[in-house]
Structure 1
Amino acid sequence: MDIILASASPRRRELLALLYPDYAVIPADIDESVPEGAPAETVGELTARRKTAHVATQHPGSLVIGADTIVEIDGEVLGKPRDAAEAALMLRRLSGREHRVYTGVSLRLGARERSFTQCTRVWFYPLSEREIEDYVATGDPLDKAGSYGIQGPGCILVERIDGDFFNVMGLPVARLRRELGLLLDESR
């Protein structure tokens, strides 16, 4: 069985390789805009399902895995920043506060589908303007939901987490493994 990751994220590629070293990457070309008024905890899963549906139509015999990660604070979804100025605004908002990271994951094999959302609570240290400027200058926040990556230079921003570390990176590997097992059992 061919396995396809419907995501261009280098972090997801790295994490999926922990489970399956041999898989293809076919990013889904879909609109990833957030539906207005959608609860934050549903946004990632909805997008992940759209990704897998799109790729699965082109590869019906393959196991397709899609994921989408968002950051939520005060009920507002923080996606990827448009530029350095927006990244700095997001980081100021997260400074010294708790937020939630939701990763929605969708698995599709033929007509069978499983999807789920994993949540991790994250607390940031209070950040000085200098810390924010220095981090934004690395370029690291520009392709990440909420303007930070816990696995790279952004690790110095995070005081603590409650939940799955890999979820904050973009793919909750342990839960994914269990859900894949359930999907494959259903397919037998």
Structure 2
Amino acid sequence: MSAFIYLASQSPRRRQLLEQIGVSYRLLLPPAEAEALEVVLTGESAARYVRRVTSLKLDAALQQLKAQGLPDAPVLCADTTVALGREILGKPAHPLQAREMLSRLAGQTHRVLTAIALQKGSRRLSALSESRVRFAPMTQAQMRAYVASGEPMGKAGAYGIQGRAAMFIESIHGSYSGIMGLPLHETARLLGQMGVRF
């Protein structure tokens, strides 16, 4: 049985979600070059992309754990992406790109996919959560105001469901916590299989 896990993520939302279900964790912050792993390969589906990136991030975290000589414990990694049709919408690089993404999502239904992977020793477990989110139509003024709040930056699809964007979301079908960045049902199942107490 493990008393704690390592969370290999900089996301405050993932920390909050683990705390919500009583998981003891220590941060194993990914190296700066981890962002470079998020490049989409030509013709790659959203599900394949998010699983691959999560696996690569977990590999990097495990190398870090070994290099730092930290105590052995399960390492949890996750990655979230937004897909509109077959197109993957990553994190906006600048405010104008955030507005472009929002204008495409407005009045449409899109998918949010979060992959999780958990490893201890040579044993690796993984899962994928897929949800559908419908945005209401948005005016240019609403988009400008939302982008000016700074909330879209650093978030896949240029929005955070747990923040101000909630007022533009007409419906969701799937996992709210998965859309936030860590599907708790799947996460709890994997932690249980790995013998983590929580």
C-alpha contact 1:104 1:115 (8 A) present in aligned 2: yes
Counterpart in the other structure of 1:131? 142
Counterpart in the other structure of 2:48? 42
C-alpha contact 1:69 1:170 (8 A) present in aligned 2: yes
SS of corresponding position for 1:149: coil
- Runs of 5+ in structure 1 lacking a partner? none
Quote the offset at 1:57 in angstroms. Answer: 2.7
Quote the offset at 1:179 in angstroms. Answer: 1.8
Q: Could you tell me which amino acid in structure 1 is paired with residue 78 of structure 2?
A: A
Post-superposition Cα deviations, 1:105-156, rounded to whole Å, max 9, x if no partner, equal 0100110001111000000001111111111110000110000000011111
CA–CA separation in structure 1 for the residues paired with 2:83 and 2:186: 21
Q: Does 1:71 align with 2:71?
A: no
SS of corresponding position for 1:71: strand
Quote the offset at 1:20 in angstroms. Answer: 3.9
CA shift in 2, pair 1:35/1:62, >3 Å: farther
For 1:10, which of 9, 12, 34 is the aligned residue?
12
SS of corresponding position for 1:176: helix
CA–CA separation in structure 1 for the residues paired with 2:104 and 2:85: 10
- Runs of 5+ in structure 2 lacking a partner? 67-71
CA–CA separation in structure 2 for the residues paired with 1:58 and 1:98: 38
The total of aligned residue pairs comes to 185
Q: Does 1:151 align with 2:162?
A: yes
SS of corresponding position for 2:192: helix
Quote the offset at 1:21 in angstroms. Answer: 4.5
Q: Does 1:174 align with 2:185?
A: yes
C-alpha contact 1:71 1:78 (8 A) present in aligned 2: yes
For 1:98, which of 102, 109, 113 is the aligned residue?
109
Quote the offset at 1:175 in angstroms. Answer: 1.4
**RCO higher in 1 or 2 (8 Å CA, sep ≥ 6)?**
2
Quote the offset at 1:28 in angstroms. Answer: 2.1
Superposed CA RMSD:
1.5
Quote the offset at 1:27 in angstroms. Answer: 2.3
CA–CA separation in structure 2 for the residues paired with 1:115 and 1:173: 13
CA–CA separation in structure 1 for the residues paired with 2:158 and 2:64: 32
Q: Does 1:27 align with 2:29?
A: yes
Normalization by structure 2: what TM-score?
A: 0.88
Quote the offset at 1:13 in angstroms. Answer: 1.1
Deviant stretches of 4+, over 6 Å? none
Normalization by structure 1: what TM-score?
A: 0.93
CA–CA separation in structure 2 for the residues paired with 1:174 and 1:14: 15
| 24-33 or 91-100, which deviates more | 24-33
CA–CA separation in structure 2 for the residues paired with 1:59 and 1:133: 42
Quote the offset at 1:53 in angstroms. Answer: 1.6
Give % identity.
37
Post-superposition Cα deviations, 1:140-182, rounded to whole Å, max 9, x if no partner, equal 0011000000001111111100001011100001111012212
CA–CA separation in structure 2 for the residues paired with 1:172 and 1:27: 20
